[in-house]
A and B are shown apart, each in its own frame.
Chain A
């Protein structure tokens, strides 16, 4: 039965037009992954209006390609230049760049590409195997369960957030507050709109993400670029030695497993996956002191993990209609544009789209590994485009993208304001990512809380009576308890010091 589904998927994904969009997506993704400051969120947001004219399947195949393509591309600059193109490849810098300095850039890039390829294939298979299962139980997942799942996500974001705990919490809270702007679901009263009808539907996610990340990052980069411009280190032999393979296959497996798991959770996401995989390898290693000084495990594990997570984060989207990260939230938008409501019914109502997208992920991963291995040199040369030429182009496309979301000049101004906020946040060493998580999860959490309460006629006990909800709440409590344990806290800091 599943074989038939996969055959249907490949028959959809392997049509020339879909292969073309899969290649375009992977290519775009790798490109934006390589460029610091341009991420998949911005790219997808910019390209979203351009997909209006496409078949929904082609559009989603391309957007998905951008997403996992960026995971590949991001590692290249991290390793060669110590410049993470993606938040998810920050960890790769630690050992990847150390390897590059030792003249082992080739093996580092190769292990990262091959590890990602393995993770991508394994995760695609996982989606094919378990999506139907998750989809079947998805309609049983009620508002109470969703609410508790959001609680786990928010707590998880706090526990594993990078850097200062207080700052992460304050960013999440700010995100929650921004998420409250707009019409209240249960009473239709417009909140925090300052009398502006443009805010009645809330702040558009694209506007916030483009402002905070895209425009904010440009301002920061312009200020910093003089003293942080890296030097290109020539890469020697590409293929890893037998020793490299022996050392990395286990971390690749573990990274894939961990990434696949975290990708599933809302609030997990790829950045979290790569960090967790790195931390795990360091804990398991018999020689943890090598980490940060060119340990190939420190490249293999996080790179596999972020790619696996990039793939499996499609499961909640495709089966529950739930965006597990910022990119998935954009994918929801992309589906809605084409009149497709993500949810459990998508697998039965649009099997061509569902399985076509899954099959395209495997094809896309193959394309990416073929693309990345020989073209590493070219990607590096792209970085030599002077930033003074690059950033006006990025800014222009960002403005076009924001305006075209709802033909609103107000949104462009709002994004500019968020750009300034993004700059201030970076200067004050606040991570904007938790803010975005709060912004996405907050309104969903509120909606489901109030929905569950309406359905239970005001009885809050429903959250403890529903078995799934109860388990999730206990999990959240356990996670919270872990943060309060000072030993864990010290461990957290230890990883960051190096």
Chain B
């Protein structure tokens, strides 16, 4: 009994003290976000478009919001380790995920994952996208995608296509093309776009869907032929190049996006603030020029739009994986 009373007494004495230390509830809410460093988690090793975009955003937001924004690379398991870490972080706005569409392609591949791409995150903005290109070697006759596809169909199982590995966007996007056109072309999984280009230039692989910017140097010299871009709309980087849909595969369209998300349950005012600040970056021509130089196109969507894209893309990639019969564990 006396123990309990003493405990109550101590608690009673400490209560006002606690209020003193932590401030009144009202004052706490008024504390301007961000009052301490914000962590931008990139689920890949340093280097690459995802990392680069996160670093540009971190620098720009740090200047605008007068608080440190720190990029943390947490690579591994195709992005799963970093994504999962953010999903399990406190939803206080101080841990943000900057990620590519591997957020939705990984679950589409039926990998055993410990996160849910839709339920575990509050989307902030689909910030940017990587323009893609469908390229073939000069050995493939024809100047248009339709002619190239006719040649591929006339030689079923004889040609190869390159990807950056099983489940990589290059792989899934080309499998989508195969399902949509009925083309029979063999997958050669490689490691990264550099190897893809090497095999293409050596003529051992005849087709690829890859990142536009790193393939571009080879188009001018005629070492490779650019036939179409993979997105729903043409890219500003090559306005004369038709989309795959325009070039004869109606309905085709893939978006290799890069977006920012917070853990589910992050206060809506913080999400709104971050979205507003990120969209403001898009108004800055110098910022957009920096991204363009790195082969990244600015998009800048609202949270609701991004949320719809997540659901739509998860369904699309799940169907692509099922249609192509890709098995991955």
Which of the residues A341, A408, A451 comes within 8 Å of B193, measured between beta carbons?
A: A341
A319-337 interface code vs B (CB 8 A; 1 in, 0 out): 0010000000000000011
Which of the residues B52, B74, B192, B329 comes within 8 Å of A188, measured between beta carbons?
A: B329
User: Which residues in A have their C-beta under 8 angstroms from that of B188?
Assistant: 451, 454-455
Given contacts A183-B166, A336-B192, list 12 more A-B pairs with CB under 8 A.
A141-B202, A189-B328, A197-B80, A198-B77, A339-B52, A341-B193, A343-B198, A348-B217, A405-B45, A407-B74, A455-B188, A457-B157
- Given A187-B166, A200-B77: A142 and B47 interface contact (C-beta under 8 Å): no
**In angstroms, how far is the closest chain A Cβ from the Cβ of B211?**
11
By the criterion CB–CB under 8 Å, are A345 and B197 in contact? yes
By the criterion CB–CB under 8 Å, are B329 and A189 in contact? yes
User: Which residues in B have their C-beta under 8 angstroms from that of A338?
Assistant: 47
User: Which residues in A have their C-beta under 8 angstroms from that of B77?
Assistant: 197-198, 200-201
User: Which residues of A (126-147) have their CB < 8 Å from a CB of B?
Assistant: 138-143
By the criterion CB–CB under 8 Å, are A321 and B186 in contact? no
Residues on B lying within 8 angstroms of A by beta carbon are 45-48, 52, 72-78, 80-81, 84, 109, 157, 160, 165-167, 186, 188-195, 197-198, 201-202, 204-205, 214, 217-218, 327-329
Residues on A lying within 8 angstroms of B by beta carbon are 52, 138-143, 183, 185-190, 197-198, 200-201, 321, 336-339, 341-345, 348-349, 405-408, 447, 451, 454-455, 457
A349 to B223, CA, bound (A): 13
Looking at chain A's contact residues, the main secondary structure is loop
Total CB contacts across the A-B interface at under 8 A = 102
For the complex of A and B, list the 7 residue pairs with the smallest distance between their C-beta atoms, beginning with the closest: A341-B194, A188-B166, A200-B77, A188-B328, A139-B202, A197-B77, A337-B47
**In angstroms, how far is the closest chain B Cβ from the Cβ of A205?**
13
Which of the residues B46, B190, B195, B214 comes within 8 Å of A52, measured between beta carbons?
A: B46
User: Which residues in A have their C-beta under 8 angstroms from that of B327?
Assistant: 187
Could you say which of A139, A190, A198 has the most chain B C-beta atoms within 10 Å of its C-beta? A139
A454 to B188, CA, bound (A): 7
- Given A188-B165, A188-B167, A188-B329: A407 and B201 interface contact (C-beta under 8 Å): no
Could you say which of A186, A190, A345 has the most chain B C-beta atoms within 10 Å of its C-beta? A345
- Given A139-B198, A142-B204: A186 and B81 interface contact (C-beta under 8 Å): no
By the criterion CB–CB under 8 Å, are A321 and B73 in contact? no
By the criterion CB–CB under 8 Å, are A406 and B45 in contact? yes
- Given A188-B329, A197-B81: A406 and B75 interface contact (C-beta under 8 Å): yes
User: Which residues in B have their C-beta under 8 angstroms from that of A344?
Assistant: 198, 201
Q: Which residue in chain A gives the minimum CB-CB distance to B200?
A: A139
User: Which residues in A have their C-beta under 8 angstroms from that of B218?
Assistant: 345
Could you say which of A188, A189, A336, A349 has the most chain B C-beta atoms within 10 Å of its C-beta? A188
Q: Which residue in chain B gives the minimum CB-CB distance to A143?
A: B204
Q: Which residue in chain A gives the minimum CB-CB distance to B46?
A: A337
